[in-house]
Amino acid sequence: MNGDLFQGNFVDAVDEWTFDKIPGAANVLKTHWQTYFTEADVQKLASWGINAVRIPIGYWHYHNSVQNTPYISGADYYLEQAIGWCRQNGIKVLIDIHGSPGSQNGFDNSGHAGTVGWQTGNNMEITTNVLVEVATKYGAAQFADTVFAIEMTNEEISWGANDFGKTKTWTQTTYKKMRAAAANKNLILMMHDGFMGPSNWLDVNTALNGNSAKGSFYLDVHLYQNQVAADSKLKQGEHIQKACDYAKTEFLPASSNLPVVVGEFTGATDICANPDGTTSAGKTCSVRDCQCSATVGIDKWKAPLIAATRKFFEVQMQVYETHAQGWFMWTYNGPGAWGLANAVQYGLVGAKVTDRKYTNLCS
């Protein structure tokens, strides 16, 4: 996501595992941690109406030495610093353990692309120990005014090397240990749905939340419309309708009492916008002066593409605020329509994220 890092000696790195093996990585990472996200960024987020942030961090910043990994620790200092900035600006924090031992998904976002080894050896036990350490520190009274939740894993897969039943059993055991470790008894403990959908977590919810109208176990779902081939065949109106349908396909009725949060979404879709405001699917178009979001830099977007993307942004926010507990956009400083900073700068959202230009998009 930050191409500036992956240059020079680091051009062949594909994840943090390979990055951290390269001589000089410690100094490069330290500079990155000091400059990539600053207090000025938190002030911007607050000015845009953002009231909570989800901050990802790898497990190796808490438990690394016993595994003899190449990871370089040290980011927790900067996480704590960011929490202080958020406190000063009235923003709550969800701490997200984004990379788990052995890799929970084999994706680069776990820190180690390739083999999935989270459920092998003692990796799940190490994950629990990490989470108990994080819950002990950030679930303490001194952080209770700002840190409202901790996410146990990010995008753990539920197929291949991972058994979904084992994931759910581990979730219950680890939840209880984290709950016991956290002095803040209002702290929310959140789990990604493993791409299985909230309905497949109702048994875990019953075990942990019981009959409480809103307990302290929450579920995180990630809703993208640019990750599978079928989505690249949709016009923007069809993307919008799909987002409207999330009310039935992705969320639960209120009676389920399982709180769901959209932990990641984006405004990015593979569409092209024509001068008359109509759209087509894909990354190429033949109409004169049409623009495709995947091939035209966001600073060159014209009104039709901006309008189409803003509608998609706004319908998602409306649906998530109505049918879930809220949302976190992935991400603040990403490229194109992946970045909230870009979205604000180029009019893909309002000056405040609560400013809506379009209404009744699901009617």
- Catalytic residues, by residue number, are 155, 264
Q: Among 336, 204, 344, which residue's Cα sits nearest to residue 260?
A: 204
- What whole-number distance in Å separates Cα of residue 332 and Cα of residue 334? 6
Quick one: tokens of 180? 């016991």
CB atoms within 10 A of CB 53: 23
Contacts 24+ apart (CB under 8 A), 9-15: 14/108, 14/113, 15/108, 15/110, 15/111, 15/112, 15/113
Stated as kind and residue range, the H or E segment containing 99 is strand 92-99
- What whole-number distance in Å separates Cα of residue 287 and Cα of residue 289? 6
- What whole-number distance in Å separates Cα of residue 333 and Cα of residue 142? 29
Stated as kind and residue range, the H or E segment containing 173 is helix 164-181
Please name the amino acid found at residue 336.
G
- What whole-number distance in Å separates Cα of residue 139 and Cα of residue 148? 8
- Those residues whose C-beta lies under 8 Å from the C-beta of residue 127, and which sit 6 or more positions away, are 59, 97, 100, 101, 118, 152, 153, 170, 174
Please name the amino acid found at residue 19.
F
CB atoms within 10 A of CB 180: 10
Stated as kind and residue range, the H or E segment containing 94 is strand 92-99
148 three-state secondary structure: strand
**How far from 48 is each of 143, 167, 275, 307, 355, CA to CA, in Å?**
24, 37, 30, 19, 10
DSSP 72: P
